[in-house]
Structure 1
Amino acid sequence: MNLSKGEREGAAAEVAVSVKNVGMRYGDFYAVRDASFDLPKGKFLTILGPSGSGKTTLLRLIAGFGQPTSGEIFIGGQPVSAVPPHKRVIGMVFQKLALFPHMTAAQNVAFPLKMRRRDARTIADQVERYLDLVKLGGFDSRRIHEMSGGQQQRVAIARALVFEPDLLLLDEPLAALDVKLREEMQLEFRRIQKELGVTTINVTHDQREALVVSDEVIVMNDGVIQQRAKPVNAYRTPENAFVANFIGVTNFLAGPVSSVSANEVAFRCAARELRGVSVGSGPAIEVGASCSGAIRAEQIRIAATPDRLGTLAFQFAGEVIDAIFEGERMVYEVNVAELGGVSLRVFDHDPIGHTQFLPGERVLVGWNPKDMHVFGNNHSQN
């Protein structure tokens, strides 16, 4: 995997967590295969992937809830595979918050300090500080069942951070919240992490969450790390077709390669030759081999007349199959006969200023070669 200059510089910083060739095998099944990465101190990393990708297994190994069958995990430069969870200075927040319902918010937050036998004279001030940090000042006497889902989440965060852990682990803690509250809490996680500078590893299948909160993302599938990069690089220059398909809304157009140059790959899709850029670290794309061109929904322009598409290199007539209003954008499904009857998903991010098309209307769609990434078809898109 190729990292940018900035990513290499980040990796060279003081390392908080180092995962070296870690594998987790159950019989003949590999939940995690040969995972390796270094996480610099103070950074926020999100491990992103679908259900069964191995992301939660990897997080649990870092937490100590299992020993890897191969490789080693280092925290603060020390190997920890033989160190039990309660001896690792780690805070955790789970999807099931596991708060004590018979305790108040302050008592829940104080619990880790009492378990660690901290000076009783300092506990009240420490609890107050962390309740203020999560914007729950004045809620100290409130019982858990008297609090909203978002407030309970904040209590769980304060409890995980109050003893000032070396590492904070988050296991899909926002999955049970409604969309609006989840998006608010994503920004809160980012604010709190930046304010404290605590090294954080988050696990989620929510791609928006990964892009919003993280300094870096790792994308996993079938137990294998597919890409590690800054969020913007994972989105704009995916390492393979799986990453391109998993992050964002992506259309794939397949066909045999007709020519390869230093900057472009040309391939036939039904009646047309298309061009795009080759990215990633997969096998070389060769003439005659099958490939897939990936183009994101927001990279495709849609219009009623050719003049609205300007000088876009590729333009096609299509028919609107469906049109969905999502507030900040229109989502169109457009059938393009010239490309073998493929249906393309297209975003229009100006639904007020632009013409809104209805199902059955004839339209034009277009894009430029630089907007399409080309991958060999041995990459998984599922």
Structure 2
Amino acid sequence: MMDASASDLHAADEIAVSVKNVSMVFGDVHAVDNASFDLPKGKFLTILGPSGSGKTTLLRMIAGFDMPTRGEIFINGQPVSAVPPHKRAIGMVFQKLALFPHMTAAENIAFPLKMRRHDARTIPDKVAHYLELVRLGGYGDRRINELSGGQQQRVAIARALVFEPDLLLLDEPLAALDRKLREEMQLEFRRIQKELGVTTINVTHDQREALVVSDEIVIMNDGEIQQKAAPVGAYRTPANAFVANFIGVTNFVEGKVTELAGQQVTFETNGVALSGRIAGNAEAPDIGVNCSGALRAEQIRISSKDGRLDGLESIVQGRVVDCIFEGERVVYEILVAELGDTLMRVFDHDQESHLQFGPGDDVRLGWNARDMQVFKSDR
């Protein structure tokens, strides 16, 4: 049997990046406030948050461009605060790719190998291997301006990976691409990371990107980590109302708690009693306090005003304010007078009857109590 000390060493070996109580203060601004998380080797982590949430500052500290005001960052178990960026075995891809326009794709990829004094005889084969990895075989002789935006992204990825870094950092490298290409490149990032097994930290404000590419997501707001979870956990069991609102399309109904029974909550809004459950590990609200019920747009069913919504536990009347056709779905905005004129957004994926309702139509909405996640309100 492995003794405790050996077990601890083995566990430490499996952690690629450890952020311990890290803060960054600029004057009176806490850009990052007491952030902590561990990232196992070979995993893909995305730091997700709105502009100004501290995600890029945290990434810059991991890269070594900024020194934490407090706390420490460990890479492969070693503290790195005193290690300059060029001595950290880190590959980086940023929104501005900084490819050398006077070089070919192959020369760009070879550059970090030459800077690190790799054996010149091994470089051509290594470059060719990484061109194939990013599906640019045969493109090595092309200048950067002869490549499309997506192809340039692939060159940047290959250049960041060719020297086999311990860690790959991505700072919104897909933000400038059009939607279709961005979604294709998200899958490419995921494929390449899986194939190589390189530990990766990605920064983005794009929810879909975070859900698609990541093994785990860290959600930040106002410099603080709000939740660290697998994509499914962050989406289905958000830690607080901010996470519930930031990931996905979520409706909020404000009310006051009237009953508590374990994880089940009953609250009242505008004289209507609604049922829900305490969200994940969120703090349970007390009876009599204000709360917010969070309900995903896809968890609401819609019917005509005389339609049946069998089996659903909460049913309300509403009036369509707007409908937005998005191809694979219609998004309805519906005013629910009986819930205090709450405006609710509902997804309709019915392929046979798209745009079945129009502005001014009276409808019924229904959902199950288990889908209404209740948080203690800050209001």
Normalising by structure 2, we get a TM-score of 0.95
**Paired residues of 1:12 and 1:40 also in contact (CA < 8 A):** no
Q: 1:351 to 1:320 in 2, by over 3 A?
A: farther
What is residue 224 of structure 2 aligned with on the other side? 224
Give 5+ residue unaligned stretches, structure 1: 1-10
* Superposition deviation, residue 12 in structure 1: 8.1
State how 1:224-243 maps to structure 2 within 5 Å.
Answer: 224-243=224-243
* Superposition deviation, residue 284 in structure 1: 3.2
What is residue 279 of structure 2 aligned with on the other side? 279
Secondary structure of the 1:97 match is coil
State how 1:188-337 maps to structure 2 within 5 Å.
Answer: 188-305=188-305, 307-337=307-337
RMSD after superposition: 1.3
Say if 2:164 is the partner of 1:164. Answer: yes
* Superposition deviation, residue 351 in structure 1: 3.7
Normalising by structure 1, we get a TM-score of 0.94
Counterparts of 1:33 and 1:189 in 2: how far apart (Å)?
29
State how 1:1-382 maps to structure 2 within 5 Å.
Answer: 14-305=14-305, 307-353=307-353, 356-378=356-378
**Paired residues of 2:334 and 2:344 also in contact (CA < 8 A):** yes
Count how many residue pairs are aligned between Structure 1 and Structure 2.
369
Q: 1:222 to 1:136 in 2, by over 3 A?
A: same
Give 5+ residue unaligned stretches, structure 2: 1-10
| Percentage identity across paired residues of the two chains | 71
Runs of 4+ with >4 A deviation? none
* Superposition deviation, residue 349 in structure 1: 1.5
Secondary structure of the 2:274 match is strand
**Paired residues of 2:305 and 2:362 also in contact (CA < 8 A):** no
* Superposition deviation, residue 308 in structure 1: 3.4
**Paired residues of 1:44 and 1:213 also in contact (CA < 8 A):** yes
Q: Output one character per residue of 1:7-53: Cα deviation in whole Å (capped at 9) or x when no partner.
A: xxxx8881000000111111221100111111000000000000000
**Paired residues of 1:330 and 1:351 also in contact (CA < 8 A):** no
Counterparts of 2:271 and 2:262 in 1: how far apart (Å)?
25
**Paired residues of 2:305 and 2:317 also in contact (CA < 8 A):** no
**Paired residues of 1:214 and 1:231 also in contact (CA < 8 A):** yes
Secondary structure of the 2:263 match is coil
